[in-house]
Amino acid sequence: MEETTNQTTSVIKSFDNTFESGNLVDTFSQVGEVGIDYALELSEAAPILKDIPVLGLIVSGTKTVANIRSHVLANKVFKFFYEIKDVSIEKRQKFAEEYCQANREDTAVALLSILDRLNNQNYVPIICRLMKAKMDGAITIPEFNRTVLALERTAYTDLELLHKFVSDYYEEGVAEAFEAAGLVYQSVIDGGSADSSSDGGSKMKLSHTGRLLLVYGLGYKAEARVPRSTDVKSDIAWEEIGEDEILKITKS
């Protein structure tokens, strides 16, 4: 148990040192965007492990595929550092400080936890773009948190449909999944006619979080901040009740 705790602590410290101080431009100029297996096989010394030692700590013993989760996490960490290689150390340090202050949690621990929870490695570049948006002042830490949480709840295969909800739209299954993740809201409430069992043409539209993910995470060209509105439709005709009708109702 103590050995496991020490190894976990070493991984967190190593990740933190690389995130806040690592010269990632030089590191990836040698390797490029390749899989971690290939990077480790470039030479017996595996030079990248010297620059990003956290990878070695995570993948130790995973060549036998004894721990698939650790191997997958190592791939995510590799992609993460590749995606932020052009971000200055100063910006990374400022993000780490602000994130820690806002969340009252160690930034390295939080980022490793986020990467570990992602259900698809292709989400890593999206997370990094959202992080860069925060570093550039386009979004806040709370907005970053909410958008990342929504992304974690979303199936990768659904993401390509998110842009359709810029306008009022509905697609069975996808709309409900996006709503559960907090990415859309019901923008058109259509109850249908009074004598019909139909639920009408209710629609969904991007929520504030959904727009931030679309614009800053997926790079889609759209307005990032749009006022929220809901349109209620119904074929039910309302008529005023006269005094005579009111008297009849109250006396009956």
Tell me, yes or no, whether 134 lies in a domain.
no
pTM: 0.73
Do 111 and 11 share a structural domain? yes
Do 195 and 109 share a structural domain? no
Tell me, yes or no, whether 194 lies in a domain.
yes
Tell me, yes or no, whether 58 lies in a domain.
yes
**Can you tell me whether residue 191 is helix, strand or coil?**
coil
Q: Which residues of 14-23 are buried (b: 16+ CB within 10 A; e: fewer)?
A: bbbebbbebe
Tell me, yes or no, whether 71 lies in a domain.
yes
Tell me, yes or no, whether 129 lies in a domain.
no
Do 166 and 109 share a structural domain? no
Residue that is last in its domain, among 95, 117, 139: 117
pLDDT in tens, the chain (252 residues): 455 556 667 777 877 877 887 777 666 665 555 555 555 554 444 555 556 666 666 655 444 434 667 778 888 988 898 899 999 999 999 999 999 999 999 998 999 999 999 989 999 999 999 999 999 999 999 999 999 999 999 999 999 999 999 999 999 999 999 999 999 999 987 755 434 334 457 899 999 999 999 999 999 988 877 766 666 665 555 566 667 776 776 766
Tell me, yes or no, whether 130 lies in a domain.
no
Do 71 and 160 share a structural domain? no
Domain count, the chain: 2
Tell me, yes or no, whether 122 lies in a domain.
no
d(CA 148, CA 131): 10
Tell me, yes or no, whether 243 lies in a domain.
no
Give the torsion sign (CA, 30, 32, 34, 36): positive
Do 170 and 85 share a structural domain? no
Give the domain range for residue 108: 2-117
The answer to whether residues 152 and 115 touch, using CB atoms and an 8 Å cutoff, is: no
